[in-house]
Structure 1
């Protein structure tokens, strides 16, 4: 019975940055710079490409039951913004409250054009190869 119960337990996985509250709490605006932040927290999960230079440290804990999709249990983002001189301008923490869950609309991507059937795809090009309207007419044309 213990084996059956252990098979139904959820599996917890950590993804991304491993948060240490002592280290993340030690980063302070006006005192730290890029070098000290990297020495304290390590390389960021990703950096902003446009606008204000910002380093993001992203951490997620997922829970998954057997044969089910993983669910996000905990999620945190530490955003460290820098000024032009490379000094810390601000530190912002956010969590699951800012996560947006998207549901795709169907399983197909809409495209321009018409839908072709299997047989149109299979036999649609018969006679089109080498035809003058096909942009050629064969070799030497």
Structure 2
């Protein structure tokens, strides 16, 4: 590469870098100026009521109405009265699961079909609602309305 070509490359690199440096905020060296991502920011987060897994008891008090693009968190609480599971593959494929927390352990799955409680315990699921539609999660093999949670994503 000739000296002239190297100078041209250096001048072009400086021309690009200088305006970026001029935009930096001198007050805080750690601030990159971007902040939290919109969908993961605290202003876009909602807590949902817990889902209760207990023999013969309703899963929830009311159906969920969710908004696509909003981040939600909810707890599933199993009281250990019976080995119980929740299934809802269509719902779990209509959301992006950020994390599942069980006893302080954070799990970041690529997908989910069901969860099961063999004994008393609690888990928290954080997710982003994505695909609008009508969904449900339910206790498998059950036919009662109280063993099913209707979910709408708008």
Larger radius of gyration: 1
Give TM-score, length-normalised by structure 1. Answer: 0.25
Give TM-score, length-normalised by structure 2. Answer: 0.24
- Which structure would you say has the larger RCO, counting Cα contacts within 8 Å and 6 or more residues apart? 2
Normalized per residue, the structure richer in strand is: 2
